[in-house]
Amino acid sequence: MSTTGAPTTPAAAMHEAAPARPVWHVALVRPETMTLVLLIVAIIVASYLSPYFLDIGYILRSFTLSAEFALVALVLTMVIIAGEIDLSPASNMALSACLFAWAQASGIPMPIAIAIGLLAGLAMGALNAFMVIALQLPSIIVTIGTLTLYRGLAQIIAGDKSIRVPDWFIGIDKVMVLGIPVPVVIFIVAALVLGLILAGTIFGRQIYQIGTNEVAARYAGIRTRRIKLTLFLLIGLVSAVAGMMTASRLGSVRYDLGLGGELQMVLMAMLGGTYIFGGRGTILGTFLAAWLLVVVSTGMTVANLLPAIQLTVLGVLLIVAIIATNFIYSRTQR
Amino acid sequence: MNIVRSILVRRETGIAVMIVLLCLAVGLYKPQFLTLNQLRVILLLVPLIMIVAMGQMLVLVARHVDLSVGSMLGLSAMLAGMMFRDMPYIPWPVGFVVAIGAGALLGLLNGALVTVFKLPAIIVTLGTLNLYRGLTFIVSDARQVDRQFVPSALKSMSQTSPIFGIPWIIFMALGIVLLAWWFTRHTIVGRQIFALGSNPSAAELRGVKVNQITLLVFTISGALSGLAGIMYASRWGFVNPSNTGAGFEFQVIAAVVIGGVSINGGVGTVPGVMLGVLLLGCVAAALPLLGIPGTAQGAIYGAIILVALLIDRSVRQQGIASLKMVRA
């Protein structure tokens, strides 16, 4: 609310929640602090369970398994801050990867096949945006519909078979840059760029304004529709990229690629302290939450827990995270 | 004339016309679609969706949504099935009590999370969707309850019939529909759900106990999912931790939304939802006859949800336009 008037630097934006309080106090009640503390606790517990955990290479390799979801979760954070939600990215990943794999399997040259996949992602984002922005339908229900639709279309294209991708395309997670797997590098770079955009540009601050009070934002001259359109297109495009990263990691594409991924994406955003009703949240929080989630699920794998139990833990985490975030925000009303 | 008009503009009429047109179109192409035998196929497809849809309708009318119905169905079916397997000495009708009770408890938990912590239902039930599915694996040790353990008396409910060759489970679904119709039309609590969904703050001022009603609709949704769970065991004769009820929420939401329940709360009728479910059943029965592979079902459900949203929107805008005309 108070972010518009005075020229805001990123640092000022961080502090404006409670200007009268000391800095350490403000930092302490931020939800990102909760995420960071949880992350440290999780690392300590996990390294207690298995000595492999202190091996940074092991954690990085584990992160490649979730890097695609984490990448989308960064953009999803911005969408949620703008007061909307998108549950369809996981299905979008599947459909764009299926289209890409189907195109290259039927003899279309690789660059064009990749372009087809990316355009498909954009188109899916555009359809969501059209229903939500132009037709004024609630994004929750719209994206439940498109979640089903996109996954269903992927199933029509791929059937029950898996489509192979060419050998040279396989293994993006095995390629290292400075000892870090490429998917992790992409995630970190994306987090830096999006974090700077969200916290340090006019565009980013306008996203917060829309989420806090859309009507007021419109009266203040913010192009709310254009910004939301940008966000939906961006999440569509990034989902397509994530879909192809998954295809490269798995070596083949099936219609159930990324099935249930929407839970992990929403969970990362919620764990990172994004406020479900919009207007609050940071990329830093989601960034930390992605690592937290990787440490937790890798820890559970190391501890030999069944995938089903992991599912239960993720479900509980989601509910606990949203309760905790809401609690923190209710204590720090601006 | 007025009566004809008021029937024509009703939402239910539109769905009924769509069903008739669909059946005629498919029937022209494949005449065997319009036989009694095919009607039986359609009727056997719908009871589970019908029952769960009635609960989902109440939740949507109260301005919430319940994504966890499929997992509640799976977990309660699994609990009942394990009771059949591990405690065969207990009479089988107790399975109904177990499944409905378990479902009601799970639904109550959803409702409690939504009311106590003031959380949006979509996120809560996205969490419990996964939580309950995981619990199903944990309690069952990831093992299926096989055919031989499900009591034959229960299985025969889907095959034998009291009258006209119509199986028991269809009558049960019909009973639930009638009950839901009575509940939404003729009880104070039922009407209060609509009041709450139309305008929550006004409803509260008017003395509607918002928290209790919210708890109630989620509990009913859970209990009906539990009932559908035991009927799943009856219909298919087994309970599988990963398949049973998976993806069910999308079919149910598609049926309810196409049945004219507004996603903005406060609007919805039992006959409309019933017709919505039947329409979905007709589509599902027509697909194999038309040679469309079963893999296309997901896309069709998704498309149905989106089309229903568009219809809902245009209906709402017409309503607003007619209100403005009255005022002018």
Each residue's pLDDT tens digit, B240-282: 887 777 878 888 888 888 888 887 788 888 988 999 898 888 8
Residue B4: the pLDDT is 66
In angstroms, the CA A63 to CA A292 distance is 10
Residue A190: the pLDDT is 92
DSSP string, B230-299: HHHHHHHS-B-TTTTTTTHHHHHHHHHHHTT--TTSS---HHHHHHHHHHHHHHHHHHHHTT--GGGHHH
- Give A136: exposed, middle or buried? Use CB within 10 Å, 0-12, 13-18, 19+: exposed
pLDDT band for position A16 (cuts 50, 70, 90) = low
How many whole angstroms from its chain centre is CA A124? 17
Q: Does A144 touch chain B (CB under 8 A)?
A: yes
Q: Which residue has the tokens 């319009």?
A: B34
Q: Does A313 touch chain B (CB under 8 A)?
A: yes
In angstroms, the CA B282 to CA B127 distance is 32
In-domain check, residue A4: no
- Boundaries of domain holding B260: 47-273
> What residues have CB less than 8 Å from A249, skipping those under 6 apart?
A64, A65, A68, A171, A172, A173, A183
> What residues have CB less than 8 Å from B255, skipping those under 6 apart?
B49, B53, B273, B276, B277, B279, B280
| DSSP character at residue B224 | H
Largest distance between two CA atoms of chain B: 71
In angstroms, the CA B191 to CA B280 distance is 27
Q: Which residue has the tokens 């794998």?
A: A301
> What residues have CB less than 8 Å from A125, skipping those under 6 apart?
A92, A232, A233, A234, A235, A236, A237, A239
In angstroms, the CA B80 to CA B197 distance is 34
Length of chain A: 334
CATH number at residue A305: 1.10.3470
Residues 78-107 of A with CB under 8 A from B: 85, 87
Contacting residues of A for B120, CB less than 8 Å apart: 276-277
Q: Which of B126, B134, B310 is facing A266, going by the closest CB pair?
A: B126
In-domain check, residue B158: yes
Q: Does A235 touch chain B (CB under 8 A)?
A: no
Residue B319: the pLDDT is 63
Length of chain B: 328
pLDDT band for position A4 (cuts 50, 70, 90) = very low
What's the mean pLDDT in B7-31?
78
Q: ∠ CA A214-A219-A223 to the nearest 5 degrees? A: 70
The answer to whether the Cβ–Cβ distance between A148 and B305 falls below 8 Å is yes
Residue (of A69, A89, A98, A76) closest to A256 by Cα position = A98
Is the pLDDT confidence value at B59 over 80? yes
Of chain B, the percentage scoring pLDDT greater than 90 comes to: 21
The answer to whether the Cβ–Cβ distance between B295 and A266 falls below 8 Å is no
Average the pLDDT over each of A9-23, A96-110, B52-66 and give the range with the smallest value: A9-23
Please tell me the distance in Å from A142's CA to the nearest CA on chain B. 7
Residue B324: the pLDDT is 59
Other Cβ atoms less than 10 A from the Cβ of B162: the count is 9
Residue B103: the pLDDT is 93
Which has the higher per-residue pLDDT, A126 or A276?
A126
Q: ∠ CA A237-A241-A245 to the nearest 5 degrees? A: 165
In-domain check, residue A259: yes
Of chain B, the percentage scoring pLDDT greater than 70 comes to: 91
SS3 state of residue A218: helix
What's the mean pLDDT in A170-195?
84
User: B259 in the Ramachandran plot: left (φ > 0), alpha (ψ -120 to 50) or beta?
Assistant: alpha
In angstroms, the CA A331 to CA A25 distance is 12
A143 contacts A85 by C-beta, under 8 angstroms: yes
Please tell me the distance in Å from B6's CA to the nearest CA on chain A. 27
Average the pLDDT over each of A4-13, A198-207, A323-332, B52-61 and give the range with the smallest value: A4-13
Residue B31: the pLDDT is 79
Q: What is the mean pLDDT of chain A?
A: 82
The answer to whether the Cβ–Cβ distance between B309 and A276 falls below 8 Å is no
Q: How far apart are the first and last CA of chain B?
A: 25
Contacting residues of B for A89, CB less than 8 Å apart: none
Residue A279: the pLDDT is 82
Please tell me the distance in Å from A253's CA to the nearest CA on chain B. 16
Q: Does A50 touch chain B (CB under 8 A)?
A: no
Other Cβ atoms less than 10 A from the Cβ of A57: the count is 12
In angstroms, the CA B37 to CA A293 distance is 52
Contacting residues of B for A87, CB less than 8 Å apart: 126
The answer to whether the Cβ–Cβ distance between A152 and B293 falls below 8 Å is no
In-domain check, residue A1: no
A313 contacts A301 by C-beta, under 8 angstroms: no
In angstroms, the CA B169 to CA B315 distance is 34
Residue A295: the pLDDT is 83
Which has the higher per-residue pLDDT, A68 or A158?
A68
Other Cβ atoms less than 10 A from the Cβ of B17: the count is 12
Residue A176: the pLDDT is 77
- Give A61: exposed, middle or buried? Use CB within 10 Å, 0-12, 13-18, 19+: middle
Contacting residues of A for B140, CB less than 8 Å apart: none
The answer to whether the Cβ–Cβ distance between A137 and B136 falls below 8 Å is no
The answer to whether the Cβ–Cβ distance between A308 and B132 falls below 8 Å is no
CA distances from A256 to A242, B204, B322 (A): 14, 44, 46
The answer to whether the Cβ–Cβ distance between A156 and B295 falls below 8 Å is yes
How many whole angstroms from its chain centre is CA A190? 11
Which chain A residue has the Cα nearest residue B250? A148
In-domain check, residue A5: no
The answer to whether the Cβ–Cβ distance between B295 and A312 falls below 8 Å is no
Which has the higher per-residue pLDDT, B3 or A37?
A37
Q: Does A263 touch chain B (CB under 8 A)?
A: yes
In-domain check, residue B282: no
Q: Which residue has the tokens 């599947």?
A: A94
Which has the higher per-residue pLDDT, B36 or B249?
B249
**Helices A139-158 and A89-105 meet at what angle, rounded to 10?**
20
pLDDT, tens only, B101-144:
999 999 999 999 999 888 888 888 888 988 898 888 888 887 88
What's the mean pLDDT in B12-41?
79
In angstroms, the CA B246 to CA B283 distance is 20
DSSP string, A42-70: HHHHHHHH-GGGG-HHHHHHHHHHHHHHH
CA distances from A93 to A69, A150, B121, B296 (A): 10, 9, 25, 18
Residue A279 identity:
G
**How many domains does one find in chain B?**
1
Tell me which of B63, B135, B295 to substitute to probe the interface with A (most A C-beta atoms closer than 10 Å).
B295
DSSP string, A118-173: HHHHHHHHHHHHIIIIIS---HHHHHHHHHHHHHHHHHHHHTTS-EE--GGGS-GG
Residue B241: the pLDDT is 81
Best mean pLDDT range from A249-263, B66-80, B141-155, B314-328: B66-80
Dig out the tokens for A221 from the structure.
């001259």
The answer to whether the Cβ–Cβ distance between B295 and A145 falls below 8 Å is no
In angstroms, the CA A110 to CA A116 distance is 10
Residue B3: the pLDDT is 67
Pairing of strands A180-181, A176-177: antiparallel
Q: How far apart are the first and last CA of chain A?
A: 9
Residue B198: the pLDDT is 86
What's the mean pLDDT in A94-99?
90
What's the mean pLDDT in A211-227?
86
Please tell me the distance in Å from A40's CA to the nearest CA on chain B. 24
Residue A41: the pLDDT is 82
Contacting residues of A for B134, CB less than 8 Å apart: 308-315
SS3 state of residue B163: strand
pLDDT, tens only, B157-171:
777 666 766 778 888
In-domain check, residue A300: yes
In angstroms, the CA B162 to CA B66 distance is 34
In-domain check, residue A130: yes
In-domain check, residue B153: yes
pLDDT, tens only, A226-257:
899 999 999 999 999 999 888 888 888 888 88
In-domain check, residue A3: no
Q: Which residue has the tokens 């019933």?
A: B274
The answer to whether the Cβ–Cβ distance between B134 and A270 falls below 8 Å is no
How many whole angstroms from its chain centre is CA B84? 25
Residue B53: the pLDDT is 93
- Boundaries of domain holding A45: 10-331
In angstroms, the CA B183 to CA B180 distance is 5
Residue A2: the pLDDT is 43
In-domain check, residue A274: yes
Average the pLDDT over each of A25-34, A180-189, B102-111, B208-217 and give the range with the smallest value: A25-34
Q: What is the mean pLDDT of chain B?
A: 83
Which has the higher per-residue pLDDT, B317 or A117?
A117
Residues 149-168 of A with CB under 8 A from B: 149-153, 155-156, 159-160
Is the pLDDT confidence value at B35 over 70? yes
Residue A332: the pLDDT is 61
**How many domains does one find in chain A?**
1
Which has the higher per-residue pLDDT, A36 or B106?
B106
Residue (of A106, A110, A283, A260) closest to A191 by Cα position = A283
pLDDT band for position B179 (cuts 50, 70, 90) = very high
Is the pLDDT confidence value at A3 over 50? no
Is the pLDDT confidence value at B283 over 70? yes
Contacting residues of A for B129, CB less than 8 Å apart: 263, 315
The answer to whether the Cβ–Cβ distance between A155 and B296 falls below 8 Å is yes
